[in-house]
Amino acid sequence: MRQQRNISLLLVGCLLFASFTGCGKKQAESSQETVSVNDSSSAVEQTTKESIPLKDASPSSDPKMVITIDTVEISEEELKAQDYIVTLHVNLEKNAGISYSEWGLSYDERCEVMADTDGLSYNTVYAFSESKPFLWTAWSGGAQISTSESAILNFNMKLPEDATTGDFFPVKYESVSLADKPHKWSDGEHDWVALDAVSWNDGGVKVVVSAD
């Protein structure tokens, strides 16, 4: 009987060890993919260390917020003139006080994406995946700007040179945060994801017939 108990305990220990090492491996792989970011990372790291309490009730203001990715229509002639580079924005169209977020973007694998945070009101950081067309992003903003409606990320997307009329290159919001955890949207008091108060509109680039 004691021998069976010892064997059971040994099996449990092995399972726990395997679970622990597997988790560590996943975190390590994630940290290897999220390679590096811009100079605002320290501000975001500080924000992530702060505890954000979850309230039971929705905020008294409009309990919905909307993230919209631009949809750009452009002709083949315009694309060629721009060296096949199109600028898009991720906009916070309805913001009732968000001060911190983490989320992701996926884009067409035929494209190259270059993120740009110049001129933004938010302290935005981002990191590209090394294995798929995907980037993680996070931003924090002070109370004085957290209710403004503005772009939270700008990026340039280079389309393939064989792009033709009718082609569409999607850019999609992804509800995952850094380290592949659920996306985060907080005003410092409310967890908007838990309140089911976050919605979004995907975008992309569509090649159309020239208007001329």
What is the mean pLDDT of each successive set of 10 residues along the chain, which is 212 residues long?
A: 36 32 35 37 32 36 76 96 93 74 91 72 72 80 51 86 96 86 86 87 95 72
Tell me which residue of 101, 74, 94 sits closest to 166, measured CA to CA. 74
Give the model's pLDDT for residue 48: 30
Give the model's pLDDT for residue 47: 30
Start-to-end CA distance of the chain, whole Å, equals 87
Distance (Å, whole) CA 89 – CA 105: 12
Dihedral pair phi/psi, residue 142, rounded to 5°: -75, 165
111 shares its domain with 84: yes
Residue listed under structure tokens 């955890």: 181
Per the structure, the count of domains in the chain is 2
Give the model's pLDDT for residue 95: 67
8 shares its domain with 85: no
Provide the residue count of the chain: 212
129 shares its domain with 48: yes
In terms of phi and psi (left: phi > 0; alpha: psi -120 to 50; beta: otherwise), the region of 153 is: beta
Give the model's pLDDT for residue 167: 97
Taking CA atoms, 84 is separated from 31, 77, 162, 212, in Å, by: 32, 10, 10, 19
74 shares its domain with 148: yes
66 shares its domain with 171: yes
5 shares its domain with 22: yes
Distance (Å, whole) CA 50 – CA 38: 21
114 shares its domain with 168: yes
Tell me which residue of 112, 99, 124, 117 sits closest to 191, measured CA to CA. 99
Give the model's pLDDT for residue 117: 60
68 shares its domain with 27: no
Give the model's pLDDT for residue 175: 92
- How deeply is 139 buried, as exposed, middle or buried, from its count of CB atoms within 10 A (0-12, 13-18, 19+)? buried
Domain that holds residue 103: 37-208
CATH number at residue 150: 2.60.40.680
Give the model's pLDDT for residue 141: 63
Give the model's pLDDT for residue 125: 74
pTM for this model (two decimals): 0.65
Give the model's pLDDT for residue 124: 66
8 shares its domain with 97: no
Give the model's pLDDT for residue 58: 40
26 shares its domain with 58: no
Give the model's pLDDT for residue 121: 55
Distance (Å, whole) CA 193 – CA 173: 14
66 shares its domain with 120: yes
46 shares its domain with 136: yes
Give the model's pLDDT for residue 17: 34
198-201 and 65-69 strand pairing: parallel
In DSSP terms, 126 is beta-bridged to 137
